[in-house]
Amino acid sequence: SYELTQPPSVSVSPGQTARITCSGDALPKQYAYWYQQKPGQAPVLVIYKDSERPSGIPERFSGSSSGTTVTLTISGVQAEDEADYYCQSADSSGTYKVFGGGTKLTVL
């Protein structure tokens, strides 16, 4: 079955830039989406269609795509950004949604 691969953890100091990658063979054909999940809360969509930001999401969140890898970038990280981040896409047919394993962002 199709898989998306994320690093388990990323650590940055406040004010620095955090980059979280997500790799998958179908990413050149399928859009990627990113979700933020804080403990005890439901996920929140922070990036859609690889690089678009929903209204209400801070400008420090951005997304990019290159080949089989997509990247979530958080510029000027703040303490409140500490959370788990999940990429999501679909298999090559577009039928089945798939989530990456998640990346825990720690703000030092």
Q: In Å, how far are 15, 34, 55, 56, 93 from 102, measured between CA atoms? A: 22, 10, 23, 22, 23
Count of residues in contact with other proteins, rule CB under 8 A: 28
Taking alpha carbons only, the member of 36, 59, 34 closest to residue 49 is 34
Residues 86 and 102 sit within 8 Å (Cβ to Cβ):
yes
Among residues 27, 77, 83, 90, the one that binds other proteins under rule CB under 8 A: 90
**Shortest distance (Å) from residue 72 CB to other proteins:** 14
Among residues 21, 26, 73, 98, the one that binds other proteins under rule CB under 8 A: 98
Interaction of residue 45 with other proteins, rule CB under 8 A = yes
What are the tokens at 68? 């089989």
Residues that bind other proteins (CB under 8 A): 1, 30-31, 33, 35, 37, 42-45, 48-49, 52, 54, 84, 86, 88-90, 94-102
